[in-house]
Amino acid sequence: MIDESCVFCQIVAGTLPSEIVCRDEHFVAFRDIAPKASTHLLIVPRSHVCDLDQWVDEKGSSDSMLAFVRQVGRDLGVSGRYRLITNVGSAAGQVVFHLHWHMLAGDDLPGF
């Protein structure tokens, strides 16, 4: 399903410009527009799902998405030295309500 008002659906569809770094049939990885580390990617499913809880409710697990995340880490050369975050709900800081993992890496990675 696609939500035409969703910025990440627009990026996946190619109607909103972005720097896509990896993609497959189900997932897309692109650079965050306001990076918080030298490598800051967003990894999203092509289908519009609002957050991780909804994804797991619908798919039963996040295994396939995390396998893609791992491959992105390999492709970007950050395997073994990245941070992965997903915000679920506005109280946790979620601003874009299309499931996304933040993949952060680099010598400038802020403390957590």
Binding mask 16-35 for ligand AMP (x = CB under 6 A): x-x-------------xxx-
In sequence order, the 6+-apart residues with CB closer than 8 A to the CB of 10 are 4, 16
Task: Select which of 48, 98, 100, 102 is catalytic.
Answer: 100
Q: Which residue type is seen at 87? A: N
Query: Least separation, in Å, of the C-beta of 20 and ligand AMP?
Result: 10
Binding mask 80-109 for ligand AMP (x = CB under 6 A): -------x-----xxxx-------------
Q: So which residues are the catalytic ones?
A: 100
